[in-house]
Amino acid sequence: MKVTVVGAGAVGATCADNIARKELCEELVLLDIKEGLAEGKAQDMMQTAALLGFDTRIVGSTNDYSKTAGSDVVVITSGIPRKPGMTREELIGTNAGIVKTVCENILKYSPEAIIIVISNPMDTMTQLAITSSGIPKNRIIGMGGTLDSARFKYQLSQRLGCSPADLNALVVGGHGDTTMIPLIRFATWNSIPVTKFLSEEEQQQVIADTMVGGATLTKLIGTSAWYAPGAAGAALVESILRDEKKLFTCCVQLDGEYGQKDICLGVPVVIGKNGWEKIVDFDLNDAEKALFQKSADAVRAMNDVLKSL
């Protein structure tokens, strides 16, 4: 197996490190446009192999896509964060150009690759990857909901005083502070609904804290988070390469599911060797359906910016 991670920044390097430590593939290519960055980080990670006991071969590359040839899975983390004074249109315009170019180059050398999109704005970049690449929609996966769900479990574990591993909890909708929908009604602690342990006020606080999870970390750290986003990307790679059929929330193209068409949004999907293999229909109530529609409207507004570029 071979995996490529495009973008050797904090998220990309963390994702690559997780993949290598778990020995999910024989060869891992780390690619970046900045001269020497990917080669340096690849060498640094390879120097941990004797200490950590993994055999994955990590190769760094400065924009040489020929080294990515034959990749089974490609994770795209490249793009720029929004800077002070930068409009939403400017951010989308810059990152859209990056993601489109990356997809074209990746598929030139790995036409059968499954692509995981982490670049922001993630829902719109996933939509762009599908429309610009022309490959089957099951091979394009946006990571956002996987991360949001992990953050949801963290917030629940803090309130309940339990292990996050004992929780099942999903976030659906767009990957943004105002568009994600933590489905607390479906969340369980070892099969028992968490609503049995939390007051309505506590439930609403968990939901609110989950929705601003990324912004909270940016305020504390001074930049976007990378450990959990990188681990989330690696978790999807693992489920694909090991054909685990795990249920994750991922941003995928909908064709009538959850009442939406021609849009990429976060919904529960089964992840296996073919990419996303099945959308799982959670029976949303009227209030949740209304929130999902509102989320879809916001993402569509973001996608409309692509049409003006």
Cβ contacts of 53 within 8 Å, gap of 6 or more:
none
Core vs surface per residue 52-70: b (16+ CB within 10 A) or e: eebebebbbbeeebebbee
Looking up tokens 């490529």 gives: 4
What does the alpha-carbon distance between residue 59 and residue 57 come to, in Å, rounded to a whole number?
A: 7
Check 144, 175, 213, 230 and give the catalytic one.
175
Looking up tokens 């450990």 gives: 227
Residue ranges with strand state E in the chain: 2-6, 27-32, 57-62, 73-76, 114-117, 140-142, 167-168, 171-173, 180-182, 188-189, 192-193, 246-255, 261-272, 275-279
In degrees, rounded to 5, the angle at the alpha carbon of residue 134 between the alpha carbons of residues 271 and 268 is 25
Residue 175 catalytic? yes
Residues linked to residue 182 through DSSP beta bridges, in sequence order: 171
Cβ contacts of 97 within 8 Å, gap of 6 or more:
none
What does the alpha-carbon distance between residue 259 and residue 15 come to, in Å, rounded to a whole number?
A: 33
Catalytic positions: 175
